[in-house]
Amino acid sequence: METIVCSKVCKQYGTKQVLKEIDLTLEKGKIYGLIGRNGAGKTTLLSILSSQNPLSSGTVTWNGEAIWENQHALNHICFSRELSPNLIGNNGNNMKIKEYLNIASYYYPNWDKKMAQDLVEKFELNIKQKISKLSKGMLSMVTIIVALASKADFTFLDEPVAGLDIVIREYFYKRLLEEYMETGRTFVISTHIIEEASDLFEEVIVIKKGELLLKENTQELLSRAFRISGLSEVVDQMTNGYKKYHEEQIGRRKSVTIFLKGKEELPKEYDVTIQPLNLQSIFISLCGMEE
């Protein structure tokens, strides 16, 4: 099976360690959600997985071939970076949407021109407009167009829905699913709007402060996370032996998040309130601020 394998990847900017020994395998034909707080290393990871950024140590391979400066491998990988009005070109970018898409069409060998045109129409973009004049939402639309039309087997999107209104976000999710079901391409999508995208993700990858915290089937993760609340002592008895996350105590009442392992079942004999958690709440439990 086609894979991208990342092994012991570290990245350092000066003295700052941004990624720490990341081991990760991406399989063909899955939609992955990549979540982490601001500065956790999501963008750095995606740029390393697509060879847009050199790693400090470790290896990244596509089907066993190192991807660094390997055009054959990179033909299968697309990282549609978040655009900013002044990132590209020489001071104050004068490139038009049309020109930007044109460059992308040369860069990706399987570029789907018809799809790009169709998306431009759906998003009601004026291709004669300059990138520097686009709103945040319009910049996201351009990155989405590049990602989908690239037709790359492995496509990474960095916060594709930032600044988009809910109608366009929903349209994007459906369009992405459609493309995925037709082609079986792999998508890795980083997002901060976790809840509305969580059902798209077959697997979720969580990174925290440059470390890979977990990579798991989304439904399985959801089925083993619970928030237990009740009388403090009872909650303690019941959750004894579990690692506790996101503990909150108000008077005699305590709430805590636990994760069951494998096929374990929750102990039943305690008088507590048990709530299943959604992905967003799980993320807060794992990566929330410590008080």
Partner 1 sequence: MNGILTQEKSIYLQISEMIETDILRDILLEEERVPSTNELAKIYAINPATAAKGINVLVDSGILYKKRGIGMFVAAGAKEQILKRRKEAFYNDFIKKLLHEAASIGLDKEQVIQMIRLGEEKQSSKRREG
CB of 129 to partner 1, least distance (A): 29
Tokens 């750095």 belong to which residue? 44
Contact 187, 173 (CB under 8 A): no
Q: Does 284 bind partner 1 (CB under 8 A)?
A: no
Q: Which listed residue (177, 214, 274, 284) binds partner 1 by CB under 8 A?
A: 177
Q: Does 253 bind partner 1 (CB under 8 A)?
A: no
Site pattern 109..148 for partner 1 (x: CB under 8 A): ----------------------------------------
How far is the C-alpha of 221 from the C-alpha of 199, rounded, in Å? 12
Between 126 and 217, whose beta carbon lies closer to partner 1? 217
How far is the C-alpha of 44 from the C-alpha of 52, rounded, in Å? 9
Q: Which listed residue (23, 121, 170, 248) binds partner 1 by CB under 8 A?
A: 170
Residue 57 tokens read as: 């140590």
Segment interacting with partner 1 (CB under 8 A) among 43-51, 120-128, 167-175, 253-261: 167-175
CB of 219 to partner 1, least distance (A): 6
CB of 81 to partner 1, least distance (A): 25
Q: Which listed residue (79, 108, 156, 180) binds partner 1 by CB under 8 A?
A: 180
Residue 88 tokens read as: 């590209």
Q: Does 157 bind partner 1 (CB under 8 A)?
A: no
Site pattern 43..82 for partner 1 (x: CB under 8 A): ----------------------------------------
Sheet holding 31-35, edge to edge: 77-80, 154-158, 186-190, 31-35, 203-208, 211-217
Q: Are strands 211-217 and 203-208 parallel, antiparallel or unpaired?
A: antiparallel
How far is the C-alpha of 236 from the C-alpha of 229, rounded, in Å? 10
Per the DSSP assignment, residues forming a β-bridge with 79 are: 156
CB of 278 to partner 1, least distance (A): 4
Q: Does 181 bind partner 1 (CB under 8 A)?
A: yes
H/E segment holding residue 229: strand 225-231
Which string of b and e fits 12-24 if b means at least 16 CB within 10 Å?
A: eeeeebbbbebeb
Q: Collapse the DSSP code of 22 into the 3-class scheme (helix H, G, I; strand E, B; otherwise coil) and give the result.
A: strand
Q: Does 218 bind partner 1 (CB under 8 A)?
A: yes
Q: Which residues, 6 to 35, sit near partner 1 by CB under 8 A?
A: 31
Contact 283, 206 (CB under 8 A): yes
Q: Which listed residue (7, 84, 219, 237) binds partner 1 by CB under 8 A?
A: 219
CB of 63 to partner 1, least distance (A): 23
C-beta neighbour count of 275 within 10 angstroms: 13
Q: Does 283 bind partner 1 (CB under 8 A)?
A: no
Between 73 and 197, whose beta carbon lies closer to partner 1? 197
Contact 191, 163 (CB under 8 A): no
Task: Please report, as ranges, the residues that interact with partner 1 according to CB under 8 A.
Answer: 31, 170, 173-174, 177-178, 180-181, 195, 199-202, 218-219, 222-223, 276, 278
